[in-house]
């Protein structure tokens, strides 16, 4: 399976999990290729809205460019949503990471398994938290 299809399948998996949990969610097709900032998923309920960048990796860490983070923050601010990274590592559940909890790594931001397990929220914790 190619990398793009794996990413799309992961986004769709998360969409189904949101809907199953009582949240509305929509995948933004081509989010990485638009000239406007756009996350992979927008999701919400009557109390909260989230702009979510989804990542799935075979590695034990994932790096993000400053541009990716700024784009997500920009969309979230203009849309009135919380900005989150949803990341899935091999044999792990989804983790939801607050952008402020990401590690600095040179000009990049990074999330590894240890950081996700320490600072990240699982889906239930993410859905149950009060507005950020």
All domains of the chain in start order, with CATH = 3-128 (3.40.1350.10)
Does 31 participate in catalysis according to the annotation?
Answer: yes
How does pLDDT run across 80-130, given as a tens digit for each residue?
Answer: 999 999 999 999 999 999 999 999 989 999 999 999 999 999 999 999 987
11 pLDDT higher than 80: yes
109, 102 in Cβ contact below 8 A? yes
Choice among 15-19, 26-30, 86-90 with the minimum mean pLDDT? 26-30
15 pLDDT higher than 60: yes
Q: Which of 21, 31, 33, 34 is catalytic?
A: 31
pLDDT at 7: 84
Instruction: Show the tokens assigned to 14.
Output: 């998360």
What values do phi and psi take at 59, rounded to 5?
-85, 175
Give 49's pLDDT tier (boundaries 50, 70, 90).
very high
Mean pLDDT (the chain) is 93
Of 32, 29, 121, 56, the C-alpha closest to 82 is: 121
pLDDT at 31: 56
Query: Cα angle vertex 65, ends 15, 31, to 5°?
Result: 35
16 pLDDT higher than 90: yes
CA distances from residue 91 to 59, 60, 103, 130 in whole angstroms, order as listed: 11, 11, 22, 28
84, 52 in Cβ contact below 8 A? yes
């Amino acid at each position: 399976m190619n990398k793009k299809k794996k990413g799309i399948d992961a986004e769709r998996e998360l969409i189904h999990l949101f809907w199953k949990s009582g949240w509305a969610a929509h995948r933004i097709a081509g989010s990485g290729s638009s000239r406007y900032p756009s996350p992979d998923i927008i999701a919400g309920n009557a109390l909260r809205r989230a702009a979510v960048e989804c990542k799935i990796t075979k590695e034990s860490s994932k790096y993000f460019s400053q541009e990716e983070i700024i784009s997500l923050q920009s969309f979230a601010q203009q849309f009135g949503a919380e900005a989150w990274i949803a990341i899935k590592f091999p044999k792990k559940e989804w983790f939801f990471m607050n952008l402020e909890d990401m590690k600095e790594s040179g000009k990049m931001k990074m999330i590894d398994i240890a950081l996700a397990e320490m600072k990240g929220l699982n889906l239930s914790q993410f859905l149950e938290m009060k507005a950020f």
